[in-house]
């Protein structure tokens, strides 16, 4: 008999119980994590781009409003401006109240974000 094959077979047999125990612990931990699913942030919100007319160039703002927010969630409006700094409202939890961002001379697309706090 080859001594390398003997030692390999003994090593495999010795490690089998340890591997089985590690797999069982991993399955138990996965079950514990799956039993408590995470609550996703959400709500019913709206964001609009507003044009502020001036004598000079127009300005742009975003305003956001939420009718509902999930428990532990907050929202904000975002004016996505390409190649410039975006404008944001403050993070808010109040419902049915418009929140406005600061003004920008660059135009963009309005959207809202919701996150857990």
Q: Residue 57's domain spans which residues?
A: 43-116
> Is residue 47 a contact partner of residue 111, using CB atoms and an 8 Å limit?
yes
Residue 47 shares a structural domain with residue 12: no
pLDDT digits (tens, 9 = 90+) for 48-60: 999 998 888 899 9
To 10 degrees, the CA torsion angle through 52, 82, 73, 66?
A: 30
Q: Is the pTM of this model over 0.85?
A: no
pLDDT attached to residue 23:
56
pLDDT higher than threshold 80 for residue 38: no
pLDDT bin (cut points 50, 70, 90) of residue 18 is: low
Is residue 117 packed enough to be buried (19+ CB in 10 Å), middle (13-18) or exposed (0-12)? exposed
Q: Which position has the higher pLDDT, 4 or 47?
A: 47
pLDDT higher than threshold 70 for residue 81: yes
Residue 99 shares a structural domain with residue 59: yes
């Amino acid at each position: 008999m080859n001594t390398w094959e003997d030692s390999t077979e003994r090593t495999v047999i010795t490690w089998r119980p340890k591997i089985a125990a590690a797999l069982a612990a991993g399955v138990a931990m996965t079950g514990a994590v799956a039993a408590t699913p995470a609550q996703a942030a959400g709500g019913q919100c709206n964001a609009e781009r507003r044009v502020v007319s001036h004598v000079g160039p127009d300005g742009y703002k975003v305003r956001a409003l939420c009718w509902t927010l999930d428990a532990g969630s907050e929202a904000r409006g975002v004016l996505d401006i390409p190649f410039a700094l975006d404008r944001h409202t403050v993070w808010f939890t109040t419902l049915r109240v418009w929140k406005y961002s600061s003004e920008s001379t660059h135009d963009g697309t309005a959207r809202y974000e919701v996150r857990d706090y």
